[in-house]
Amino acid sequence: MAAIIETKGLTKRFKSVTAVKDLTLTVEEGAIYGFVGPNGAGKTTTMHILTTLLTPTAGEAWVAGYSVTKQSRDVRRVIGYMPDFFGVYDDMKVWEYLDFFAACYDIPEAERPALIRDLLDLVDLSHRADDMVDTLSRGMKQRLCLARTLAHDPQVLILDEPASGLDPRARIEIRELLVELANMGKTIFFSSHILADVAEICTDIGIIEAGELIMQGNVEEMQRQLIPHREIVIALLDEVERARETLFGVEGVVAVEEMEPDNGRLRLHVSLTGDDEAVSDLLRRLVQAGVPVIHFTEETRDLESVFMRATKGIVS
């Protein structure tokens, strides 16, 4: 697929602070791209550049083939942007709020009622169309703001922390809505520090720290790169030395380390190369050797593990 968002050497300095440093990333058309990093990592600054709200100090970025520095008006036509802190006009009804923004996008008055009905139906707010905006919950306001970004049918959605501050149900609803929008052909680029949201729906992720892009790709690729071995934790009644001898005799075992006891249980951490059969063989060999195994589990190679391996805990 062709790249619909691309940056090369993107840099933004604010006096003595470099918020984004030599950032090069690619987002393919139709992707749900999670832009992950701690607060202060440079996520919002990058998005402000992509949405033409900031001019980069160096480097270049393109959205749908348009340069953000030289063709800003064209970029704005193809994107829908939802900032992390957005304003709603509390003295408007829900439908009036969408009508106002549809007018801002030069959508003819005769076409706006049908458009508003479709948008409210998409974000499941049709039943609140005549309510005042200030009566909506935060999650509903978030969905309303997302509907606003869709008024001109953009190709690309750039969403800054769309699930921030939401309760668990509202977060799930936002995630489901993003997947539905991707199924409609939208490319979604969203930032988050909530790893569960990213892991659940993203096709690709980029990890940024202190203004630098550390890694990008799909989660499985990153897992294989950062955590190449299977990690097994074994709890024993005793016979630690016999267990170690047995484990080192199994093909594919890279390392065996003794862990801190857990509730008095002796524990070993085993790094293993191989497939599921190799993991099964490991347990079988321990049992055959008479090692009293009371717990045997594989540590999951989830996005949280990838993030902790990739980052150092610093900000720009």
pLDDT, residue 201, reads 86
Residues 35 and 169 grouped into a single domain: yes
pTM score over 0.85: no
Residues 218 and 233 grouped into a single domain: no
Residues 202 and 239 grouped into a single domain: no
Residue 43 lies in a domain: yes
Residues 209 and 233 grouped into a single domain: no
Residues 135 and 183 grouped into a single domain: yes
Residues 175 and 136 grouped into a single domain: yes
pLDDT tens, 11-44?
999 988 999 999 999 999 999 999 988 888 899 9
Residue 18 lies in a domain: yes
Residue 44 lies in a domain: yes
Residue 307 lies in a domain: no
CATH number of the CATH domain containing 86: 3.40.50.300
- Residue 58 CA to residue 60 CA, distance in Å, equals 7
pLDDT, residue 102, reads 94
pLDDT tens, 66-104?
999 999 999 999 999 998 876 667 789 999 999 999 999
Residues of the chain scoring pLDDT < 50:
none
pLDDT, residue 48, reads 96
Residue 305 lies in a domain: no
User: How many structural domains is the chain composed of?
Assistant: 2
pLDDT, residue 306, reads 67
Residue 164 lies in a domain: yes
Last residue of a domain, one of 192, 223, 254: 223
Residue 308 lies in a domain: no
Residues 45 and 76 grouped into a single domain: yes
Q: Which domain holds residue 112?
A: 3-223
pLDDT, residue 88, reads 66
